[in-house]
Amino acid sequence: MPHAASKSSASRKPQPKAVPTVVPPVKLGRGKGLRKPIITAAVKPERTPEAATQTATHIAQQPAAQAGSAPALEAVHAMGRGTFRTAQLPPLPTLRVVDAPPPTETIAHEHKPEIDARVWVGDCREVLSKLPEIRGAKLDMVFADPPFNWNRAYDKWDDAMDDRAYLDFTCEWLDLCIVGLRPGGQMWVNIPDDWAAEIALHLKARKLFMNNWCVWHYRFGQNTTARFINSKVHALNFVKPGTLSPAHKVTWNPHEVLEISDRAAIYGDKRTLSKEDGMPPGHRVPMDVWYGPFMGRVQGNNKERRGYHDNQLPEAYLERVIRSTTNPGDLVLDPFLGSGTTGVMALALGRRFIGTEFSEKNATSACERMKAGPVRPLHDKPVAQSTAIFKKRKALIEE
């Protein structure tokens, strides 16, 4: 007769062994090569709440990042459902005191000589590492619209890198911008689906906290029959941790970017006339999906269009970003100046500006545009408009 197992041993389930699973390489939708494995998932079959708690505790006790370790874009999926521990990071770069190169061009504000825009031509990683404003953490806001690695024609820039090379490049410029931000300063990154998750992971690993994950929605996306047509780009907004010092305050100016609420514009809801949230009657803070008048793609017949530049952001987009998250006199950086929209709107709104651009041709065009100013007139306070997608109720039209 075989030995009978005790009740305790018979009821005890064997602990499943973790099976690491690597996301397989997949074909890129644009550009060249294969996407390399980026995320490693720790699959725990038949997980119990107790085991999940133990895993979370173990992860929280992991040592801090050390120099020479793997990039942040390698991540471990910890509990089978959205809890990530980023791999060990090298420390942020320590910048030596060196002589900063003179700007390629300086453009002064028409009525405020203390406000200017300075532009450097060159690789942003080389230029930014030499600027005292970066070394001294003087930036109030960074707006970056980097190359998407879609094999587009950006003058002399290689926009068809190997995926790992592109991610390494991305980490380098992100880290320099983080060093340059003051505590409480904000970073915006305009980026497509391809790289949004990787950038968000890296910024979180650097202890910045996500303030907004907005979507810039546009019509006339690239036509395709192979999948749903893309009609958006992500606008990631992260904040560098600060202190309780007033100098480290996170800037937020909702009254600068209000729009007419749908309830007021479509339904005539009287409740919007007696709001208790501090906003004017009938107004609201914009939603985190951005669309509306002058907010779409800058097409070839658009007054803002800058000739050969095919990846131009609308002035209304940058006006919203700059008005809402900076104050007059603040210092704004755009490491990928491109067509110059950030510089145009920063200078016009009374912010100091630093821009870097790899292409001398693009930089020259952008500086000319900054001197000319915005195509559409600016007001001291933007005129609130409705972005409702439905028509007014018939009863309101007849009133």
Query: Tens place of pLDDT for every residue, the chain, 399 residues?
Result: 444 444 344 444 455 444 444 434 333 334 333 333 333 333 333 434 344 334 333 323 333 333 333 344 444 333 333 444 445 788 999 898 888 999 999 999 888 888 999 999 999 999 999 999 999 999 999 999 999 887 776 777 777 788 898 999 999 999 999 999 999 999 999 999 988 999 999 999 999 999 999 998 887 767 788 888 888 899 999 999 987 788 889 999 999 988 877 766 676 677 777 777 777 777 888 888 988 777 766 566 656 556 666 678 889 899 999 999 999 999 999 999 988 999 999 999 999 999 999 989 889 988 998 998 898 888 777 667 766 666 766 555 545
Is residue 331 within 8 A of residue 133, CB to CB? The reply is: yes
The span from the CA of 179 to the CA of 95, in Å, is 9
Question: What pLDDT does residue 118 have?
Answer: 96
Burial track 55-71 (b if 16+ CB lie within 10 A, e otherwise)? beeeeeeeeebeeeeeb
Tell me, what CATH number does 144's domain have?
3.40.50.150
Distance CA 238, CA 244 (A): 18
333 and 300 in a common domain = yes
Q: Three-state DSSP class for 85?
A: strand
Q: Are residues 53 and 112 in the same domain?
A: no
Residue 69 and residue 89 in contact, taking contact as beta carbons nearer than 8 Å = yes
Catalogue the long-range contacts made by 7-16 (C-beta closer than 8 Å, 24 or more residues apart): 13/46, 15/51, 16/44, 16/45, 16/46, 16/47
Query: What pLDDT, on a 0 to 100 scale, did the predictor assign at position 113?
Result: 85
- 396 lies in some domain: no
pLDDT at 104: 93
134 and 245 within one domain: yes
Q: Do 20 and 77 meet the contact criterion of CB atoms below 8 Å apart? A: no
- CB neighbours of residue 252 within 10 Å: 13
pTM score, whole prediction: 0.73
Contact assessment for residue 125 and residue 176, using Cβ atoms and an 8 Å cutoff: yes
174 lies in the same domain as 317: yes
- 248 and 295 fall within a common domain: yes
Select from 59, 86, 113 the last residue of a domain.
86
Same domain for 43 and 181, yes or no, is no
Residues 230/192, Cβ–Cβ less than 8 Å: yes
Same domain, 79 and 183: no
- Residue 21 dihedral angles phi and psi, to the nearest 5°: -125, 130
Residue 317 included in any domain: yes
Tell me how far CA of residue 261 lies from CA of 71, 267, 280, 287, 397, in angstroms: 44, 10, 10, 10, 17
Are residues 30 and 159 in contact, defined by beta-carbon separation less than 8 angstroms?
Answer: no
Evaluate whether residue 95 is within a structural domain. no
Domain that holds residue 46: 16-86
Q: Are 283 and 322 within one domain? A: yes
The answer as to whether 227 is a domain residue is yes
Tell me, yes or no, whether 166 lies in a domain. Answer: yes
What residues contact residue 94 under an 8 Å CB cut-off, 6+ apart?
none
Residue 390 falls inside a structural domain = no
Q: Would you say 281 and 272 are in contact if contact means Cβ atoms under 8 Å apart? A: yes
Same domain flag for 40 and 184? no
Answer yes or no: do 124 and 267 share one domain.
yes
Query: In this structure, are residues 183 and 241 in contact, taking their beta carbons and an 8 Å threshold?
Result: yes
Number of domains in the chain: 2
Q: Does 288 share its domain with 361?
A: yes
- Domain boundary pick from 51, 86, 121: 86
The structure tokens listed for 290 are: 């951005």
Q: Flag whether 253 is in a domain.
A: yes
pLDDT of residue 334: 97
Domain co-membership, 39 together with 118:
no
- For residue 382, tell me if it sits in a domain: no
